[in-house]
Structure 1
Amino acid sequence: MNILPRAASVLAVTIGLISSAGATTPVAQSSPAPVKNIVLVHGAWVDGSGWKPVYDILTRDGYHVSLVQEPLTSLEGDVAAAKRVLDLQNGPTILVGHSYGGSVITEAGVHPNVVGLVYVAAHAPNVGEDEAALGKGMPSYTSKQAGAIDKTADGYTYLNPAVFPKDFAADLPTKQAVFESHAQILTAAGVFSTPLTAAAWTTKPSWGIVAADDKIINPDLERWYYARAHSHVTVIPGASHSVYESHPQQVAAVIEDAARHAEQ
């Protein structure tokens, strides 16, 4: 009857089919863990303390957050300050810049720890470009006001305290905006006209926040920057240039989105 040899043959074929099926079954791929390091970079005329509302949200949500305090004496010096902080990070990092800080992160963002960029009402020039020249193409409300931006005898700029509250921080409490107008960090005029030597957004993913009522940077210029960089764009209606202080929840949400998706 040859039953046993035939049964052995069928069993062998069955085992072979099972093994083959197992070999071709795809293994489920786990998503990369969110990036946990965040570095925040402030813009001109202010310091890093304005990031505190965003810092509080991010640290509460488990992120390791560091702030860069730029000297605001030269673009080169400010980029070096950002890179020092990036050197201290223990792995992949999201680099965030507000206003002129966008130029700083664009150049500093080539640092190997940086895996994603977030622009918050910020400039994002390309190599060889500077924000002063680009701003002339789409001038801001403030730049068209005579005397709004003043300069010291040795070439440091500041925003006239009389216009600071309504131009820089219209959606902050008046007392806070007035205080910030008198706590400005005078900023070397040259930082705005120094051409960039690197542009990290050309090789790394980016996210961009448009402050829809921004008077310091034309919101249309912000949109143009982010479209060119193929950024993930969020528009915050009614937000002033101080959007990171007045809308911290929305700004933090964009940063956390970048942290979740930058390495995917």
Structure 2
Amino acid sequence: MKTRVKLSLIAFSLAATAFGSTPVFAQSAVPPKAVNVVLVHGAWADGSSWANVIPRLQAAGLNVTSVQNPLTSLADDVAATRRVLALQNGPTVLVGHSWAGTIVSEAGDDPKVTTLVYVAARAPDAGEDFNALAARYPTMPVRAGAKDHDGYVTLTEDAYLKYFGGDLPHDQALSLYATQQPIAKTLFSGRTTVAAWHDKPSWYAVSKQDQTTSPDLERFLAQRMHATTIELDSSHLSLVSHPKEIADLILAAAGRTQ
């Protein structure tokens, strides 16, 4: 670990209670103050999955936009995110959950984007075969509930409630299951051409109880990008079950006081 990171880790640990979680790795640079936040949802979800986070960011005075991804290909999803970024005026935090970590890694090279936030998210390097990387870690239970219908994949109710959003109240998880957006069968095969986290300060929220993506894979990705990292006692859907902690992490990336 670099000396500058060791020093910043001491300072960050003093503020850890603001997130209600455990700091793992911290950056030393103070992020520029952002005026916008662009939120990007993951697979088997839509933009409303950020509904509990958005009001907290708006209350802090940030302009917030939630992207609606088609989930048909990496290129299509990146294009949808770039269209939203084009409408922003000023420094912008780009946030991705789950699959959307791939999207923000690619679209995050936009000059308006000052910082990146990853929430239980993929974070491939440029050109990396992320599926091969993920195969080095345990296959999580949710995968057994992924069902292909005419080239599109959905999660079964059992997998969604038990594993995808296992820490959510039953009725809330059931509502999210009913509104899940199918993904193209080939969605996860797309490869990025850049990895914006090499050049942009990054934050990462690990879900310790994740049954969709291995928490150890999340930890590896966070450490690889030298992200300021917190760990939450959460399912894959920490943005739903822990909205305050996720909002606080985004506010930190936006250079806003807690």
Aligned ranges 1:1-264 → 2 under 5 Å: 34-142=33-141, 147-153=144-150, 155-237=151-233, 239-260=234-255
> Does the aligned pair in 2 maintain the 1:95–1:105 contact within 8 Å?
yes
In the TM superposition, residue 141 of structure 1 has moved relative to its aligned partner by: 1.9
**Alpha-carbon distance in structure 2 between the residues aligned to 1:159 and 1:257:** 33
Percent identity between the two aligned chains = 45
| Partner AA of 2:149 in structure 1 | T
SS of aligned partner of 2:37: strand
In the TM superposition, residue 142 of structure 1 has moved relative to its aligned partner by: 2.2
Point out the structure with max Rg over C-alpha: 1
Provide Cα deviations, 1:190-235, integer angstroms capped at 9, x if missing partner. Answer: 2211111111001111000001000110000000001000000100
**Alpha-carbon distance in structure 1 between the residues aligned to 2:201 and 2:67:** 21
> Does the aligned pair in 2 maintain the 1:130–1:192 contact within 8 Å?
no
How many residue pairs were aligned?
227
In the TM superposition, residue 148 of structure 1 has moved relative to its aligned partner by: 1.4
**Alpha-carbon distance in structure 1 between the residues aligned to 2:239 and 2:184:** 23
1:229–1:183 distance in 2 versus 1, CA, 3 Å: same
Per the alignment, residue 21 of structure 1 pairs with: none
The structure 1 segments of at least 4 consecutive aligned residues displaced by more than 6 Å after TM superposition are: none
More relative contact order in 1 or in 2 (CA 8 Å, sep 6+)? 2
In the TM superposition, residue 121 of structure 1 has moved relative to its aligned partner by: 0.5
| Partner AA of 2:252 in structure 1 | D
| Partner AA of 1:190 in structure 2 | T
**Alpha-carbon distance in structure 2 between the residues aligned to 1:77 and 1:207:** 25
TM-score normalized by the length of structure 1: 0.83
Per the alignment, residue 16 of structure 2 pairs with: none
In the TM superposition, residue 189 of structure 1 has moved relative to its aligned partner by: 2.0
- Structure 2 unpaired stretches of 5+: 1-29
SS of aligned partner of 2:255: helix
> Does the aligned pair in 2 maintain the 1:44–1:99 contact within 8 Å?
yes
In the TM superposition, residue 130 of structure 1 has moved relative to its aligned partner by: 3.7
Provide Cα deviations, 1:82-104, integer angstroms capped at 9, x if missing partner. Answer: 00000000011000000001000
SS of aligned partner of 1:122: coil
**Alpha-carbon distance in structure 1 between the residues aligned to 2:141 and 2:85:** 33
**Alpha-carbon distance in structure 1 between the residues aligned to 2:32 and 2:188:** 37
**Alpha-carbon distance in structure 1 between the residues aligned to 2:84 and 2:48:** 16
In the TM superposition, residue 33 of structure 1 has moved relative to its aligned partner by: 6.2
In the TM superposition, residue 46 of structure 1 has moved relative to its aligned partner by: 0.4
In the TM superposition, residue 161 of structure 1 has moved relative to its aligned partner by: 1.5
Query: How big is the alpha-carbon RMSD for the aligned residues of Structure 1 and Structure 2?
Result: 1.5
Provide Cα deviations, 1:159-191, integer angstroms capped at 9, x if missing partner. Answer: 111221111111111011112222211101222
